[in-house]
């Protein structure tokens, strides 16, 4: 090995510099490539799940990114069909007076007889589980399918692994009508069954699946509208999963509960942590060290130790003596299980937040307060008027971290919110999705719900990235 | 500063809400858990003192032993793998480049989303006909192509480095400029070989590996304490995936503080990349390593969410952890709750966690960091 040539300005020196510069550029390029690779690995599963959640069946094999829901041709068709079905190009439907035109094409190899396919509007229940208990109207009761009209044949060949097959393209057109009066129905399923040997090629809208060894092209909805088609699983999450008693959409209830829980928990955390943090950082009093040690120690005890007693505390409404339950003072005579209030109580102890606020208050110079002290302000005024306004950055960071923590919280909602379905928060609701729909392999609904529940935190992260990064150093860097 | 009476009164008023919560939900809770662990409490009848019977019963309980085995294997394997990978990835990425913020955000994505979302997505990927099996199958099928790519890459790089060294330029075996050329040449050559049909993907049997609904473990036939149930391995993979980015970024921050001159001095002395990694990188981030190890051990020993979310998708014995064991004994479905037994399990978990933390503290002190 040798070092750089000593004589500057020579040709040799210039070649050397050129060589070095080339290496720097190449290294930067490789680093970006590796970072891109890592980013794909880490974001990949989320993105792939998001794309697959559009699929009719996300478990369809092989996994693929080329899915009918992402093809513009299908979007246009879905809009047109939705317009024809219920005058709604976004969400579609099947309303009285509708005339839905449809075409379907087959490849028929030479030597196979062509028989007119059989078209039927089936009575299919939407999904399984939580949605199946609801009484619904079926399009089958109101729809009538016209005669199939055979369009001109077109000669064509198909390449397969065995070689070239000659034949022709045979296409049919028909309409589905809503005759007479009746309710508007939100979906129009369709089954088209052809003779053996006729191979499904394409149709106005790509078939949802092929059944009976490819003979039956099955459509979940032939009047879906654009959103009804692309975001079908998402629409199902809202529409199909309803409380049996009130018909209220459970997913909407869960979103509401999650937001309420997060909002209340933020307020409670900010108030309690800033007050306690102020006292620990600024006031000298007997027992300060002991309390601080307790704060540190409380973070090392596993949740499982605490949850046994805390569960009982909620069940008993803090405490019950001689028939009097303390929580009946604020409207919970039967204990606070299965209520957001109980959940807020049991998660209100947040030693980490107290720690963060204490650290922050210690970083504010004392002189700021001393000026107020000379003016004769008491502790409360000094906290409320002087120190707290200066703590906005810390309170902001704490708000965002608390929101994320509350929104994602699993353990306590899992323990406290068990029944009925509409008291749950989103993560626990998603778990009951998994229990009901995972067993029957209906992953479209589960993935759509999961993707939607991730969105608020992702938005928050994109906007307030800085706070999340600091959160890591709050939690980790203080050892 | 002197303690003033008015300060004390004010301080306790400020602390009142926090102290009430701390008292009810921490002090009383810990006390009651300790007390229950010595009783036969079952939620309905008043507790009777049974002494150490619950603790003795723990080690005769098959589910607890499974939980203990799973928790320890999970904590040790996941901590080792994710710490090592995080450090290696951080070392690879340790360059001052523009636009790191974007990538940093991308790396954080898995760790900001909730455990439920990530676990559901992984459950879906681990299905029998899911993405993981598909990728494994694709990898097996494309093995000839990948191998020839790697061989061509190495050959071209060797030729180039040899050529540069003949010209008396100090090229290393991983010289970035030459590597870019080698990558391009290897890609082109592989593409040519595939299109001309010289090498073709293999025919392989479809991969139908069952990740979830199985009682098998790996390595098969290993003694009880060393066998990892396959569903638990699936959770390990998921956990490593979600935690690596956080630790990697912690390492990256530490590495950026290591003076570049150390590496330059080492390379003048003729140390290669591996030697530099072992002799400079690892020692200079040792404090971060201890922090990462502690955080990781605490997190993994208390793993609960994934087990609860897997639910009946995998046999309980195969995924149960100490944390879930406590929950399971507290709410055992149709059976009578065994609160005393659950509390004993919880105390065991608490002591185990504390021992790990204290051991690591002691280790850190004795190493002088």
Query: Looking at the structure, do residues A385 and A275 belong to the same domain, yes or no?
Result: yes
Q: Distance, in angstroms, between B222 CA and closest chain A CA?
A: 31
Residue B133 belongs to a domain: yes
Query: Looking at the structure, do residues A323 and A449 belong to the same domain, yes or no?
Result: yes
Tell me if A294 and B22 make a contact (CB, 8 A cut-off): yes
Residue B221 belongs to a domain: yes
Q: Say what the pLDDT of residue A479 is.
A: 26
Residue % of chain A over a pLDDT of 90: 56
Q: How many domains would you assign to chain B?
A: 2
Convert the pLDDT of each residue in A248-276 to its tens digit. 899 999 999 999 999 999 999 999 999 99
Domain membership of residue B161 as a residue range:
145-200
The pLDDT of residue A101 is above 50: yes
Tell me if B115 and A32 make a contact (CB, 8 A cut-off): no
Confidence of residue A477 (pLDDT cuts 50, 70, 90): very low
Find the mean pLDDT for residues A18-36. Answer: 87
Q: In this structure, what token pair is assigned to residue A463?
A: 């906007």
Query: Looking at the structure, do residues B236 and B346 belong to the same domain, yes or no?
Result: yes
Tell me if B29 and A280 make a contact (CB, 8 A cut-off): no
Domain of A342: which CATH number?
A: 1.10.3720.10
Contacts of B291 in chain A (CB under 8 A): 476, 479
* CA-based nearest residue to B86, from B252, B244, B291, B237: B244
Q: Say what the pLDDT of residue A145 is.
A: 93
Query: Looking at the structure, do residues B189 and B213 belong to the same domain, yes or no?
Result: no
Comparing CB atoms, the residue among A27, A36, A294 nearest residue B95 is: A27
Query: Looking at the structure, do residues A308 and A359 belong to the same domain, yes or no?
Result: yes
Convert the pLDDT of each residue in A209-255 to its tens digit. 898 888 999 999 999 999 999 999 999 999 888 887 888 899 999 99
Query: Looking at the structure, do residues B178 and B244 belong to the same domain, yes or no?
Result: no
The pLDDT of residue A338 is above 50: yes
Convert the pLDDT of each residue in B293-321 to its tens digit. 989 999 999 999 999 999 999 999 999 99
* CA-based nearest residue to A238, from A252, A226, A225: A252
Query: Looking at the structure, do residues A317 and A431 belong to the same domain, yes or no?
Result: yes
Residue A129 belongs to a domain: yes
Confidence of residue A472 (pLDDT cuts 50, 70, 90): very low
Query: Looking at the structure, do residues A222 and A268 belong to the same domain, yes or no?
Result: no
Residue A19 belongs to a domain: no
Tell me if A42 and B350 make a contact (CB, 8 A cut-off): no
Of A420-424, B148-152, B359-363, where does mean pLDDT reach its minimum?
B359-363
Find the mean pLDDT for residues B325-344. Answer: 93
Query: Looking at the structure, do residues A175 and A317 belong to the same domain, yes or no?
Result: no
The pLDDT of residue B53 is above 90: yes
The pLDDT of residue A471 is above 60: no
The pLDDT of residue B3 is above 50: yes
CB B16 within 8 A of CB A352: no
Residue B53 belongs to a domain: no
Query: Looking at the structure, do residues B171 and B302 belong to the same domain, yes or no?
Result: no
CB B84 within 8 A of CB B298: no
Confidence of residue A132 (pLDDT cuts 50, 70, 90): low
CB A314 within 8 A of CB A337: yes
Q: Which of residues 409-428 of A touch B (CB under 8 A)?
A: 410-411, 414-415, 427
Whole-number Å distance between alpha carbons of B344 and A89: 61
Domain membership of residue A438 as a residue range:
250-476
Q: How many domains would you assign to chain A?
A: 2
Convert the pLDDT of each residue in A408-440 to its tens digit. 999 999 999 998 899 999 999 999 999 988 888
Query: Looking at the structure, do residues A281 and A430 belong to the same domain, yes or no?
Result: yes
pLDDT, mean over chain A: 88
B30 part of contact set with chain A, CB < 8 Å: yes
Of A155-164, A196-205, B149-158, where does mean pLDDT reach its minimum?
A155-164
Residue B113 belongs to a domain: yes
Query: Looking at the structure, do residues B149 and B76 belong to the same domain, yes or no?
Result: no
Single residue among A183, A198, A229 that ends a domain in this structure: A229
Residue A61 belongs to a domain: no
Q: Distance, in angstroms, between B106 CA and closest chain A CA?
A: 6
Residue A448 belongs to a domain: yes
Query: Looking at the structure, do residues B288 and B191 belong to the same domain, yes or no?
Result: no
The pLDDT of residue B178 is above 60: yes
Q: In this structure, what token pair is assigned to residue B60?
A: 């005769």
How is A60-90 classified by DSSP, letter by letter? -SS--S--GGG-HHHHHHHHHHHHHHHS-TT
Query: Looking at the structure, do residues A279 and A424 belong to the same domain, yes or no?
Result: yes
Q: In this structure, what token pair is assigned to residue B201?
A: 């993907």
Q: Distance, in angstroms, between B120 CA and closest chain A CA?
A: 7
Query: Looking at the structure, do residues B215 and B276 belong to the same domain, yes or no?
Result: yes
Find the mean pLDDT for residues B345-354. Answer: 95
Domain of B83: which CATH number?
A: 1.10.3720.10
Task: Report the residue of A44, A265, A309 to disrupt the B interface, i.e. the one with the largest count of B CBs within 10 Å.
Answer: A309
Q: Say what the pLDDT of residue B333 is.
A: 85
Query: Looking at the structure, do residues A334 and A446 belong to the same domain, yes or no?
Result: yes
Find the mean pLDDT for residues B99-121. Answer: 88
Residue % of chain B over a pLDDT of 90: 63
Q: Say what the pLDDT of residue B317 is.
A: 94
Query: Looking at the structure, do residues B225 and B335 belong to the same domain, yes or no?
Result: yes
Contacts of A288 in chain B (CB under 8 A): 11
Residue of B nearest to A306 (CA): B29
Q: Which residues of B332-365 are buried (b: 16+ CB within 10 A; e: fewer)?
A: eeeeebbbbbbbbbbbbbbebbeebeeebeeebe
Residue A42 belongs to a domain: no
CB B292 within 8 A of CB B83: yes
Comparing CB atoms, the residue among A38, A288, A383 nearest residue B107 is: A38
Query: Looking at the structure, do residues A223 and A276 belong to the same domain, yes or no?
Result: no
Residue B42 belongs to a domain: no
Tell me if B112 and A276 make a contact (CB, 8 A cut-off): no
Comparing CB atoms, the residue among B10, B92, B169 nearest residue A379 is: B10
Residue of A nearest to B295 (CA): A476
Query: Looking at the structure, do residues B166 and B213 belong to the same domain, yes or no?
Result: no
Residue of B nearest to A430 (CA): B116
Single residue among B200, B219, B239 that ends a domain in this structure: B200
Confidence of residue B30 (pLDDT cuts 50, 70, 90): very high
DSSP alpha helix (H) spans, A283-391: 288-298, 303-315, 340-347, 351-363, 366-374, 379-381, 388-390
Query: Looking at the structure, do residues B114 and B171 belong to the same domain, yes or no?
Result: no
Query: Looking at the structure, do residues B136 and B152 belong to the same domain, yes or no?
Result: no
Query: Looking at the structure, do residues A336 and A468 belong to the same domain, yes or no?
Result: yes
Residue B322 belongs to a domain: yes
Query: Looking at the structure, do residues A404 and A459 belong to the same domain, yes or no?
Result: yes
Q: Say what the pLDDT of residue B62 is.
A: 95
A298 part of contact set with chain B, CB < 8 Å: yes
Q: Distance, in angstroms, between A155 CA and closest chain B CA?
A: 31
Q: Say what the pLDDT of residue A5 is.
A: 55
Residue B248 belongs to a domain: yes
Q: Distance, in angstroms, between B337 CA and closest chain A CA?
A: 11
Query: Looking at the structure, do residues B189 and B217 belong to the same domain, yes or no?
Result: no
Contacts of A45 in chain B (CB under 8 A): 110, 118, 121-122, 125, 131, 241
Residue B34 belongs to a domain: no
Residue A84 belongs to a domain: yes
């Amino acid at each position: 090995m040798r070092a750089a040539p000593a004589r500057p300005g020579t040709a040799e020196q210039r070649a050397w510099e050129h060589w070095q510069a080339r290496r720097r550029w190449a290294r930067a390029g490789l680093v970006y490539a590796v970072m891109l690779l890592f980013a794909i690995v880490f974001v990949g599963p989320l993105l792939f799940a998001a794309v697959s959640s559009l699929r009719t069946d996300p478990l369809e094999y092989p996994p693929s990114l080329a899915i009918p829901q992402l093809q513009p041709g299908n979007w246009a068709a879905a809009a047109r069909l939705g317009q024809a079905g219920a005058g709604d190009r976004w969400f579609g439907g099947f309303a009285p007076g509708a005339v839905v035109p449809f075409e379907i094409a087959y490849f028929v190899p030479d030597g196979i007889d062509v028989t007119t396919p059989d078209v039927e509007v089936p009575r299919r229940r939407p999904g399984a589980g939580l949605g199946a208990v609801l009484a619904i109207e079926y399009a089958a009761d109101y729809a009538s399918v016209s005669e199939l009209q055979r369009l001109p044949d077109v000669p064509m060949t198909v390449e397969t692994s065995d070689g070239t097959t000659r034949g022709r393209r045979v296409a049919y057109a028909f309409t589905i009508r809503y005759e007479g009066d009746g309710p508007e129905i939100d979906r129009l399923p369709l089954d088209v069954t052809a003779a053996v040997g006729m191979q499904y090629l394409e149709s106005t809208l790509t078939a949802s699946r092929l059944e009976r060894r490819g003979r039956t092209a099955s459509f979940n909805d032939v009047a879906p509208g654009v959103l009804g088609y692309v975001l079908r699983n998402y629409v199902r999450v809202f529409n199909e999963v309803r409380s049996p008693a009130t018909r209220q959409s459970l997913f909407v209830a869960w979103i509401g509960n999650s937001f309420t829980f997060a909002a209340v928990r933020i307020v409670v955390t900010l108030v309690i942590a800033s007050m306690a943090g102020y006292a620990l950082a600024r006031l000298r009093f007997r027992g300060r060290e002991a309390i601080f040690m307790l704060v540190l120690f409380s973070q090392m005890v596993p949740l499982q130790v605490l949850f046994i007693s805390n569960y009982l505390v909620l069940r008993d409404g803090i405490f019950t003596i001689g028939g009097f339950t303390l929580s009946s003072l604020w409207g919970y005579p039967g204990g606070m299980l299965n209520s957001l209030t109980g959940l807020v109580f049991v998660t209100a102890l947040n030693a980490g937040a107290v720690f963060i606020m204490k650290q922050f208050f210690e970083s504010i110079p004392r002189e700021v307060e001393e000026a107020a002290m000379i003016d004769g302000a008491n502790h409360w005024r000094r906290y409320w008027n002087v120190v707290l306004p200066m703590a906005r950055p810390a309170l902001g960071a704490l708000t965002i971290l608390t929101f994320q923590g509350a929104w994602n919280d699993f353990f306590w909602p899992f323990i406290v919110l068990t029944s009925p379905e509409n008291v749950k928060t989103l993560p626990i609701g998603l778990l009951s999705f998994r229990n009901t729909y995972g067993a029957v392999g209906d992953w479209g609904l589960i993935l759509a719900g999961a993707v939607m529940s991730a969105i608020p935190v992702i938005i928050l992260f994109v906007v307030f990235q800085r706070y999340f990064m600091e959160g890591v150093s709050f939690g980790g860097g203080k050892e | 500063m002197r303690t003033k009476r008015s300060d004390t009164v004010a301080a306790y008023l400020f602390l009142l809400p926090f102290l009430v919560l701390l008292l009810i939900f921490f002090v009383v809770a810990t006390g009651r858990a300790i007390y229950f662990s010595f009783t036969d409490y079952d939620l309905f009848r008043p507790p009777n003192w049974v002494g150490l019977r619950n603790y003795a019963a723990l080690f005769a309980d098959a589910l607890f032993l499974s939980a203990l085995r799973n928790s320890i294997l999970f904590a040790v394997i996941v901590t080792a793998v994710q710490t090592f990978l995080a450090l290696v990835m951080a070392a690879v990425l340790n360059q001052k480049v523009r636009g790191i913020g974007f990538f940093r955000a991308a790396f954080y994505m898995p760790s900001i989303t909730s455990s439920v979302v990530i676990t559901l997505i992984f459950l879906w990927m681990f299905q029998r006909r899911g993405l993981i099996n598909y990728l494994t199958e694709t990898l097996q099928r494309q093995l000839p192509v990948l191998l020839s790519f790697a061989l061509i890459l190495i050959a071209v790089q060797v030729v180039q480095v040899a050529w540069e060294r003949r010209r008396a330029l100090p090229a290393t075996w991983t010289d970035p400029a030459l590597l870019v050329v080698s990558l391009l040449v290897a890609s082109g050559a592989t593409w040519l070989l595939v299109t001309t049909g010289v090498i073709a993907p293999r025919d392989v049997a479809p991969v139908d590996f069952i990740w979830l609904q199985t009682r098998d473990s790996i390595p098969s036939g290993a003694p009880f304490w060393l066998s990892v149930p396959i569903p638990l391995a699936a959770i390990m993979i998921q956990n490593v995936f979600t935690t690596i980015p956080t630790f990697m970024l912690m390492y990256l921050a530490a590495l950026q503080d290591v003076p570049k001159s150390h590496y330059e001095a080492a390379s003048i002395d003729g140390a290669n990349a591996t030697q530099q990694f072992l002799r400079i990188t690892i020692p200079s981030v040792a404090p971060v390593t201890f922090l990462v190890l502690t955080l990781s051990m605490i997190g993994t020993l208390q793993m609960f969410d994934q087990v609860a979310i897997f639910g009946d998708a995998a046999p309980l014995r195969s995924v149960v952890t100490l944390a879930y064991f406590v929950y399971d004994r507290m709410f055992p479905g149709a059976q009578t709750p065994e609160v005393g037994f659950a509390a004993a399990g919880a105390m065991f978990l608490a002591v185990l966690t504390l021992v790990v933390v204290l051991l690591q503290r002691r280790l850190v002190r004795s190493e002088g960091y």
